[in-house]
Structure 1
Amino acid sequence: MSNAKRALQTEDLTKIEVFSDPQLSPDGNFYSYVSTKANDKDDYNSQLFVQSLNGDTPVQWTFGDVKNSNLRYSPDGKKAVFQSTRSGLPQLWLLPTEGGEARQLTTFKNGASNPTWSKDGKFIFFHASLDKDDDIQNQKEASKEERQKEQEDKKKQPLIVNRLKYKSDSSGFHDNKRVQLISLNLESNTFTQLTNNDADHGFQDVSPDGKQVLFAANLNENADYELSNDLFLLDLQSKEYKKLTDGNGGYHSASFSPSGDKVVSFGDEYEYAGATLTEIYVFDLASGERTCLSKSWDMQLGDLMIGDTRMGQSETGPVWSKDESSLFFIATDYGATGLYKVSLNKELTTLYKEDNHVFGFSYDQDKEAFVLGISSATNPCDFYYLKNDGTLTKLTKSNDAFLNEVAIAEPETLSVKAEDGKEIQGWLLKPYGFTEGKKYPFVLEIHGGPHAMYGQTFFFEMQLLAAKGYVVLYTNPRGSHGYGQEFVDACRSDYGGGDYKDLMTAVDYVLENYSFIDEDRLGVTGGSYGGFMTNWIVGHTNRFKAAVTQRSISNWLSFYGVSDIGFFFNKWEHGLNLLDDPAKLWEISPLRYAENVETPLLILHGELDFRCPVEQGEQLFITLKHLRKEVEFVRFPGANHELSRSGKPAMRQERLNHICRWFEEYL
């Protein structure tokens, strides 16, 4: 590694530009995208850009300290609808693509989101959160002052809870509002509420003839106790529903074929609970027959790559070809994601896969070409044009100035054989200014999930630790996606068993094969499930001299009742609920082994984390402190489970500074 470039610093987090949501124009001559970057108000701005496919410099379409996203072109390409917070809440705006000012389309009290055009360009369909008796023709967005007053008034009232699913990490405490589907007639400027069930509805697609809408929801009487998500066809004239699925699984990312005769969807039937591989299903609307195209692949569909510099949503498929003979999608496989094609006769073709992270795509049906969003271990993101002959052309230079200034470590890919013969993939980063013959401290990073994947994507936290002088190891132990159904299922009912051994085997491997690692200065850190594993590790071995546990789990008994997913997660991952076998849940809780902890432990936790609530960190801290162990607890106000990925920029930097401080002190 050349030292001509400077070392990465925590403050560099705010300099990175993050791309998402590429959208090709109907004529295929240019595309739009979303660029997100931290601003000077401790928040993020998201702006819309458009670029010609001849490689010209991208042109910025939106400005200001606001979030703009979800741009969708009209079928004729003359207009585009997008989502913006410029009025306060996310609302829909209409923009002439040849120039001119954007016009506000919605003023819904709780905002409007996720717009989609009808194929004739006369209607826009979208989501809106509504109370049961809301009049959609007379919606008025509350002012900032009115919203603040409403929030203050809420704080003065007790929260009445009568649902099992009464909170979520992304939304906080739920109210009685439900996400409904709305259509806007652009000619008459009138709104029509398409759904009114006591359920959240996820718009999927509108049929080519404009007569049906496809949506996902759970409309069962016992929906509060279920995790299924069915697909429904809504006839726009009769308002009658037709259920396409059988209530035994979860379905999403569905769309009509170009003829309207078929529907494709991602989904699974929870055969392995939360570790079940996603499949591609095609529904024949005339016969009602459902066909699974992917049953024999043993590959996870969609993008399951973990990173800390991805913001915004992007298409991962499945997307129809123009002649509806094939489908395109992203899949997660062996530390990377790629773009794939499958024909309706189940023939699978890899269109693009390298050692990197394809995080989104847009498909040109006429030219059979793609715009790909790609991140790598040494580049946060850029867009590329993939022609049907396989030619790949780089379109953007998003972070070139940053990358030309800062040294970024290139990972070395490892393959380690576990005790039972399983192959464990991992990556090793050398420290900034690496010198042969010198010994360096070491940090093991453990991902969350556990059913997710580390891999060939840009990870700021890893790079920062390498810049601070640490050798960094990150691996995919059993339970991770990317290595088939058996592998991802292998940690269920065995937390702290084979997964723990995989991690320790990987550490043993690098100590034996890389002489520049100082075996007396080993550190470990991880978040969520990775936080659980960090807690487990320090309770079962003293080989690490410092540990940082982030948004962790320490006690499965209390987790069952306090997490937004605890009531089903324990059953899914451990095979039992709280009352089934409390002794077993206590046996696999890191808190039980607190007396064994000799490793100095830093506990980082967001105070509004509803996924792994802060009481999990509190229990661990109080127990260790009471035992006079070396422990410190850092609480992040206003932060939820997504602190490291999409939290406030200042809080994200503070978190990184605490991690570096702790390892510097003890390693």
Structure 2
Amino acid sequence: MEPRQLTGLFGQLSGFPAPVGAHVTEEQLEGVRIYRLAAEWGQSDLVRGSRLRFSQQWTLIADSNNHQTIRTVLPPGTCAPLSAELLSSRSPVQHLRAVLKDISGHHLLEVWDHHGLTKCFNLTALNNHGRVYEDAQFGCLSWSPCENKLLYIAEKSKISSGEGQDGESGGRKDRSVYWEDWGEALTNKSVPVICVVDLQNDTVGVLQGVPADVSPGQALWAPDSQSVFFIGWYHEPFRLGLKFCSNRRSALFRLDLDGSCERLSGENLSVSCPRLSPDGSTLVYLQGAVFGPHSQCLSLQQLDLSSRRTSTLLDVVCRPQPGQFAGIYEALPSCCWSADSQKVIFSSARRNWKDLFLVDRRSKKVSSLSDNLSDPLQVYGSWKLLTVQRDLMVVSCSSPNTPPTLRVGFLPAAGAAVTWRTLQEPIMTFDFQWSILDVSPPPEEDNNHYSGLDFGAFLVKPSRPLGESRTPLVVFIHGGPHSQSPAEWNFTTAGLVKLGLAVLMVNYRGSTGFGQDSILSLIGQIGNQDVKDVQRAVLTALQTHACLDPKRLAVIGGSHGGFLSCHLIGQYPDFYRACAVRNPVINAATLLGTSDIVDWRYTSAGFPFSYDQIPSAEALAAMLHKSPISHAAQIKAPVLLMLGGRDRRVSPHQGLELYKALKSRGSPVRLLWFPEDGHSLSRVDTQEDCFLNTVLWLNQHL
């Protein structure tokens, strides 16, 4: 294909809308029960070079005497763009809608009812605080139970904290003072504060009483509307990157409006995602260890608000049984409770899938709610819960050959299956074949401390090879390393398969969804165990799929996936013919002083971390030995490097280090530099450029 055709293909594949949120209201009419579903979608637009959001309304009609059976689904309304919206929230009783917008650099907080706009606050002009946080880590927009107050998180005003402006006392000497931030993708987040809007008095204030050594976020109202719960991340002695890191020391707090604050969770733990039950009696939240793996299996805790007793609802799963629940690895949706306050519903990784689960508080039994066995022609590899309200679950489902689709289903009676209803079929599906591979390492590659672990992968390939007897294979490796490649829609994978390539995505030991033992097994083994796992998965795929061409293999990946890609072409120099990597870790020793997650640099190499750590010769030597740069002299495959100039997680100088090493040896290498992008290379124009250049690079060298 020509570049213009590839751009058109990218626009098609990346432009499929995906459901990102939903809200459900209920109404009882004569003989029927009406459910109204407002779904929010996200979509990439190449013309604007940005991502759009829009809403769509659905009306579901159920029988009054059997309201858990959907009788009729009315055609949806026309999609409506959600321009300039940063956050939105609906009140549960009066169905008021609060919206935070960015209009010409001003943050406006609007409140809408059935008649129109009822309140509007120019938060920027009021100057009580800095910019409002809209990110998933800290941000929130929460209605009080009385529906007269709103809660949100914003940056503390530097003026109010004594820093001043030019001309004020201390202004000139303090204007260049360094302010720590919370790292990659949170670079403008430093000192968050909890803010309250009183809709009766039309006032906006900042709550006092938050401990000075914590940064608050994920706030929600207590049932009495006179206090709030929040998560506080400890930021002393200094801040570590929070994005993708569930191992940061934090606690659950309760703060009264009069300023008295109380810690509700234990010491030296990592907690997140507080969710209040509909009856206001119980708060659940996720809990994990501090430091160690940056992402790990978490326990689900429940706090009885009357007795103040905390108990474990779901514990960490060390080694899941085949086909069983494998633990919680992901954030809880904002609404995750059943109407009777007895069940919690959530999505989580399970081996090569992303599945949907329910835990009953009375029995503590976990059940899978997905229906992948009911329709063999449509198996979804990914189930993501958007919300559950009034016992109606709204989920987004996808597979490697099926873009995201919107489905709904009521919580079932005990032992029964969910009757799922698809509301919005994807615009199109693709004639790709995909299959799961379960891989067991041979005895010589077993981990002595965590023996007997296996791992997985899945293969996506064209149904009909494009005029060739054998299909080239691209090995696509996820980053993290403690994350997952679920069998879900991925436009890069779809594009490569559409162009006639097969793609193998490997969940090596250390990936989420295989239990905590698998995650811990990788500590101190990076550059060895994970490299051998990927190579073993590739050999397994070649042995079990004769249609794959063993002489035309390429490897791609980002971050730790780039680390593994560069290791593979260095350790197996005659095996792979091309490599394309995004923001790869090349030299862990030189990365130590530039990464926002310095703790992980020690942990991954097998060393304990403390804030006062000073690099030792032993630690630096181990990091260097485990890095791809130690194999750079053996690399033969042409390498495409794609680097973000604003990457705080993996400095772009990592890629530059490999670039110079390869250039000095006359090895084929090309470097793309994106000065305005960060670690994820997530800007729409950047993604387009990376896809185009990766495809052309693979075509040239395969």
| Residue 414 of structure 1 pairs with residue 437 of structure 2 | yes
User: How far apart in 2 are the matches of 1:274 and 1:281?
Assistant: 20
Corresponding position of 1:116: 142
Uncovered stretches (5+) of structure 1, i.e. residues with no partner: 1-5, 136-156, 305-313
Aligned CA distance change for structure 1 residues 49 and 527 (closer, same or farther; 3 Å): same
1:274 maps to which of 261, 283, 294 = 294
For residues 93-492 of structure 1, the aligned pairs below 5 Å read 93-96=110-113, 98=114, 100=116, 104-108=120-124, 110-112=130-132, 113=134, 114-134=140-160, 160-161=177-178, 163=180, 166=181, 168-172=183-187, 178-195=191-208, 198=212, 199-219=214-234, 222=237, 224=239, 227-236=248-257, 238-270=258-290, 272-295=292-315, 297-298=317-318, 301-302=327-328, 316=333, 319-345=336-362, 346-352=364-370, 354=372, 355-365=380-390, 368-389=391-412, 390-397=418-425, 399-400=426-427, 403=428, 407-419=430-442, 420=446, 422-431=453-462, 433-434=464-465, 438-492=469-523
User: How far apart in 1 are the matches of 2:351 and 2:118?
Assistant: 44
Instruction: Output the amino acid matched with 2:267.
Output: G
Could you report, residue by residue, the CA deviation over 1:451-503 in whole angstroms, capped at 9, with x for unpaired residues?
11112210111111111221111111101011111112221110122211111
Instruction: Output the amino acid matched with 2:655.
Output: G
User: How far apart in 2 are the matches of 1:382 and 1:603?
Assistant: 34
Superposition RMSD in Å = 2.9
Corresponding position of 1:311: none
Corresponding position of 2:688: 653
Could you report, residue by residue, the CA deviation over 1:364-421 in whole angstroms, capped at 9, with x for unpaired residues?
23xx221222222223222211123411111123x41xx16xx452312222222235
Matched-pair contact (CA < 8 Å) for 1:197–1:219: no
The 3-state SS of whatever aligns with 1:538 is helix
Matched-pair contact (CA < 8 Å) for 1:432–1:469: no
| Residue 568 of structure 1 pairs with residue 589 of structure 2 | no
Could you report, residue by residue, the CA deviation over 1:73-128 in whole angstroms, capped at 9, with x for unpaired residues?
223244211233345455432222x3635853342364434311111111111112
Matched-pair contact (CA < 8 Å) for 1:48–1:69: no
Instruction: Output the amino acid matched with 1:351.
Output: L
TM-superposed CA distance for 1:160, in Å, is 4.0
2:93 maps to which of 56, 76, 91 = 76
Could you report, residue by residue, the CA deviation over 1:127-177 in whole angstroms, capped at 9, with x for unpaired residues?
122225449xxxxxxxxxxxxxxxxxxxxx9964375xx462203366xx5
Could you report, residue by residue, the CA deviation over 1:205-245 in whole angstroms, capped at 9, with x for unpaired residues?
21122122000113575464793011101122x32011012
Matched-pair contact (CA < 8 Å) for 1:30–1:50: yes
The 3-state SS of whatever aligns with 1:536 is helix
Corresponding position of 2:48: 41
The alignment's TM-score, normalised by the length of structure 1, stands at 0.85
| Residue 614 of structure 1 pairs with residue 642 of structure 2 | no
The 3-state SS of whatever aligns with 1:575 is coil
Aligned CA distance change for structure 1 residues 597 and 393 (closer, same or farther; 3 Å): same
The 3-state SS of whatever aligns with 2:224 is coil
The 3-state SS of whatever aligns with 2:215 is coil
Matched-pair contact (CA < 8 Å) for 1:274–1:573: no
TM-superposed CA distance for 1:616, in Å, is 0.5
Matched-pair contact (CA < 8 Å) for 1:7–1:432: no
Corresponding position of 2:546: 515
Aligned CA distance change for structure 1 residues 371 and 167 (closer, same or farther; 3 Å): closer
User: How far apart in 2 are the matches of 1:447 and 1:203?
Assistant: 28
Matched-pair contact (CA < 8 Å) for 1:301–1:330: no
More off after superposition, 221-230 vs 604-613: 221-230
User: How far apart in 1 are the matches of 2:154 and 2:78?
Assistant: 28
1:59 maps to which of 60, 66, 77 = 77
Matched-pair contact (CA < 8 Å) for 1:303–1:331: yes
TM-superposed CA distance for 1:652, in Å, is 0.9
More off after superposition, 568-577 vs 207-216: 568-577
| Residue 549 of structure 1 pairs with residue 569 of structure 2 | no
Aligned CA distance change for structure 1 residues 182 and 61 (closer, same or farther; 3 Å): farther
User: How far apart in 1 are the matches of 2:638 and 2:175?
Assistant: 40
Question: Highest relative contact order (Cα 8 Å, sep 6+), 1 or 2?
Answer: 1
User: How far apart in 2 are the matches of 1:171 and 1:73?
Assistant: 26
User: How far apart in 1 are the matches of 2:421 and 2:313?
Assistant: 31
Instruction: Output the amino acid matched with 2:675.
Output: P
Aligned CA distance change for structure 1 residues 541 and 568 (closer, same or farther; 3 Å): same
TM-superposed CA distance for 1:330, in Å, is 1.8
User: How far apart in 2 are the matches of 1:201 and 1:606?
Assistant: 29
How many residues are treated as equivalent by the alignment? Answer: 615
User: How far apart in 1 are the matches of 2:109 and 2:300?
Assistant: 31
TM-superposed CA distance for 1:192, in Å, is 2.4
Instruction: Output the amino acid matched with 2:48.
Output: K
User: How far apart in 2 are the matches of 1:159 and 1:562?
Assistant: 21
User: How far apart in 2 are the matches of 1:223 and 1:627?
Assistant: 41
User: How far apart in 1 are the matches of 2:367 and 2:463?
Assistant: 40
User: How far apart in 1 are the matches of 2:20 and 2:495?
Assistant: 23
The alignment's TM-score, normalised by the length of structure 2, stands at 0.81
Aligned CA distance change for structure 1 residues 300 and 190 (closer, same or farther; 3 Å): farther
Aligned CA distance change for structure 1 residues 620 and 216 (closer, same or farther; 3 Å): same
Corresponding position of 1:310: none
Uncovered stretches (5+) of structure 2, i.e. residues with no partner: 1-5, 28-33, 62-72, 135-139, 162-173, 241-246, 319-324, 373-379, 413-417, 447-451, 610-614
TM-superposed CA distance for 1:547, in Å, is 0.8
User: How far apart in 2 are the matches of 1:554 and 1:604?
Assistant: 13
The 3-state SS of whatever aligns with 1:604 is strand
Matched-pair contact (CA < 8 Å) for 2:527–2:627: no
Matched-pair contact (CA < 8 Å) for 2:293–2:482: no
TM-superposed CA distance for 1:324, in Å, is 2.7
TM-superposed CA distance for 1:265, in Å, is 0.5
For residues 600-611 of structure 1, the aligned pairs below 5 Å read 600-611=638-649
User: How far apart in 1 are the matches of 2:471 and 2:554?
Assistant: 11
User: How far apart in 1 are the matches of 2:335 and 2:293?
Assistant: 22
Matched-pair contact (CA < 8 Å) for 1:603–1:632: yes
Q: Give me the identity figure in percent.
A: 20
